[in-house]
Amino acid sequence: MERKKTRLLHLGAMAVGGLSAITVQSMTNTKTDEIQATIAQIKRLEAVGCDIVRVAVPDMTSAQAIDKIKDGISIPLIADIHFDYRLALEALERGVDGLRLNPGNIGDPDQVAAVVRAAKKKSIPIRIGVNAGSLDKHILAKHGGHPTPEALVESALGHVRLLEKLNFYDIKISLKAHNVPLTIASYRLMSSTVDYPLHLGITEAGTVSSGTIKSAVGIGALLAQGIGDTIRVSLTGDPVEEVKVGNQILKALGLKEYGPTIISCPTCGRCNIDLPSLAAEVEKKLATVHKPIQVAVMGCVVNGPGEAREADIGIAGGKGEGLLFRKGEVICKVPENELLPLLLSEIDKLSEEDN
Amino acid sequence: MERKKTRLLHLGAMAVGGLSAITVQSMTNTKTDEIQATIAQIKRLEAVGCDIVRVAVPDMTSAQAIDKIKDGISIPLIADIHFDYRLALEALERGVDGLRLNPGNIGDPDQVAAVVRAAKKKSIPIRIGVNAGSLDKHILAKHGGHPTPEALVESALGHVRLLEKLNFYDIKISLKAHNVPLTIASYRLMSSTVDYPLHLGITEAGTVSSGTIKSAVGIGALLAQGIGDTIRVSLTGDPVEEVKVGNQILKALGLKEYGPTIISCPTCGRCNIDLPSLAAEVEKKLATVHKPIQVAVMGCVVNGPGEAREADIGIAGGKGEGLLFRKGEVICKVPENELLPLLLSEIDKLSEEDN
């Protein structure tokens, strides 16, 4: 998988773009000016692997909360601002690490210039974020009345040009839609047009159960093509779930280590042990493990060890018994009822070993 | 999204390849010769949108069950066979619609020829299915001891050539691994090499919760590139879940209609109603609806209707109240406590309307 090399930016200590590690973002859904609640939510996001967090800044009390929130958290903080340039200036003053702001929505060129001057002075990147649902009427009209990839890209580039005119280039871009093919096509077009880092996401994807698949397909397809520098999964519900899903997407593509992996076969008419229960128990156990170990739970003795060659530890079911194997090598044969306790104790051993 | 046009095959009445609709497959995990249990499971798979089903045929009683199973089901049936050519002949005799069989594993050229003759006579396609974990030792050795895309493709093409030598071309190919980047690279290479339809899957993806994301990323990335003619999600657990996930992957990419869609925003500090509960209730309701209606549950009144322009029906939250909208047009304003009942009754109306 060859990644497109984009312009390198920094949000606090976190690099975005260049060929730096792809980061996972989320957004709080507390009231930003309820400082303790916002900090508490961000700490929960950090604990599950959130790299960068964004807060809505709809009013001055929210902007004024930024320094206090930053005092309580460890990851870079982005302020999401619409329309009012004073909120951006206040957020910058309070030490925010990034802005999400579409300069075209601020309107007045002097106000845009004031924000850009302040951001530049502090080396704070700005994300241009265009959504399919809120495109300007004149751009929609030009593109047949519907959001198309060309319309999304044109809209985003309009905002980008406003920043470039002011010699500001620390820009990220997002082009979100809840329609996955539209999102994919839009980012592809943008990636072939500019070198700014891209922030990937499917917006309004739905609840955890329905939105996870849409996000995995859309964000995954782009990453697999080498497009994307930072990602945000949008789900209705606890943002902790967004962060977990985002990290699992990166993990699936080998772009991030994120806890242990279970390799388990779908079972078929050849399977002679109760594999689904075994796999479920192993998964429950692995939820408590942080180390990126691989554990295989395979139904058949012929293919099991071979299919799970690189697993740190695994079992392959036989008729009322199973083989324990490490890295594809069979270690011993045990009766079915001893498989689970043996595997669990092996997982304990592995997760306690030093790296 | 431009799809690669592959050779057109038929499994019973179901087309695979060409540019025909991408199908969702699954595999039973009952004992195949427990005929009633197998039929019952397949009926459950059909009910959630399974297009093609596969059963393991590890022995003669399983092969002999095929005609009886076919009598009880409505979708094409594939027999999964390893090593023993007599099982393939029996399955063909009993009216199977497709075979999954690697001719190289049968070995004896006369036995392979006998199977191919019988399959050809009945126009039954054969899938060559290569797994990263069970590659031949000599192929592994040639490719540095590890499964690589080139090794997987070489292994599959070896089997393909055995069929082509016998003038048999009704071939599908799968190249499965639990490593997603390896899977993606292997299918890409195969797609650029041959025109046979490709059966996509990530093998040993894990349980429903961990395997869904891997499958959505891997299968989704390939489909988004125009690669893939039929898909199978492999999850440890009830195969009904595999079929649901497979269909949702196709739906996300606009490749299949599959029930209603909920469009709901992730909420942020700007949201003034309890959107997650509302979205959860709507989702519960939509689980009972088959019609592909779109329902939007959006947090804010400014962007809501615009973002969910094409939704059949939706609400956008305000302060203690919300707007009901249809296709992006605001219909009326209602107090928060009336939003859910109103939306549910609108969903009822929509789902009862004739198409």
Structural domains of chain B sorted by starting position, each given as residue range(s) with its CATH number in brackets? 9-252 (3.20.20.20), 261-352 (3.30.413.10)
Cα B76 from Cα B13, distance rounded (Å): 8
| Per-residue pLDDT at B354 exceeds 70 | no
Query: pLDDT digits over B210-229, tens only?
Result: 789 999 999 999 999 999 99
Taking only the tens place, the pLDDT of each residue in A273-293 is 788 888 888 888 888 888 889
Q: Chain-centre distance of CA A95, in angstroms?
A: 24
The pLDDT value given to residue B137: 87
Better pLDDT: A134 or B291: B291
Compute the distance between CA of residue B238 and CA of residue A14 in angstroms, rounded to an integer.
Answer: 42
Round to whole Å and give the CA distance between B191 and B197. 9
Interface contact flag, B261 A29, Cβ < 8 Å: no
Q: What mean pLDDT is predicted for residues B223-240?
A: 94
With contact defined as beta carbons under 8 Å apart, do A213 and B216 qualify? yes
Check CB contact under 8 Å for B133 and A309. yes
Total H helices, total E strands in chain B:
14, 15
Residue A95 CB neighbours (<10 A): 15
Cβ–Cβ under 8 Å, residues B53 and B42:
yes
The answer to whether residues B263 and A178 touch, using CB atoms and an 8 Å cutoff, is: yes
Cα-Cα-Cα-Cα torsion B53, B56, B61, B66, nearest 10 degrees, comes to 20
Q: How many CA atoms lie within 13 A of B229 on its CB side?
A: 26
Write out chain A residues lying below 8 Å of B178, CB-based: 263, 307-308
Position with higher pLDDT, B355 vs A207: A207
For residue B303, what is the nearest residue in chain A, using CA coordinates? A134
The string of DSSP letters for A53-98 reads EEEE--SHHHHHTHHHHHHH-SS-EEEE--S-HHHHHHHHHTT-SE
Q: Are the Cβ atoms of A270 and B58 closer than 8 angstroms?
A: yes
Residue A175 has pLDDT above 80, yes or no: yes
Best mutation target, B25, B33, B214, B236, to test chain A (most A CBs within 10 A): B236
Task: Tell me what the mean pLDDT of segment B49-55 comes to.
Answer: 97
Name the band, by pLDDT with cuts 50, 70 and 90, for residue B269.
low
Comparing CB atoms, the residue among A27, A57, A210 nearest residue B283 is A210
Give the lowest-confidence range in A43-52, A326-335, B148-157, B301-310: B301-310
Q: Tokens 């939250």 label which residue?
A: B317
The tokens of B314 are what?
């939706």
Kind and range of the H or E element at B90? helix B85-93
Distance from CA of B24 to the nearest CA of A (A): 16
Does residue B129 have a pLDDT over 90?
A: yes
- pLDDT for A323: 85
Identify the pLDDT of residue A45. Answer: 97
If one compares A80 and B260, the residue with the highest pLDDT of the two is: A80
Rg of chain A taking only CA atoms, in angstroms: 24
Q: Which residue of B has its CA nearest to A135?
A: B306
Contact status, residue B288 vs residue B280, Cβ threshold 8 Å = no
Distance in angstroms (rounded) separating the CA atoms of residues B318 and A61: 20
Cβ neighbours of residue B199 closer than 8 Å, sequence gap 6 or more: B25, B127, B129, B172, B173, B174, B228, B229, B230, B231, B232
- Contact state of A270 with B178 under an 8 Å Cβ cutoff: no
CB contact under 8 A, B234 and A266: yes
- Enumerate the residues of chain A whose CB falls inside 8 A of the CB of residue B204: 263-266, 296, 298, 307-308
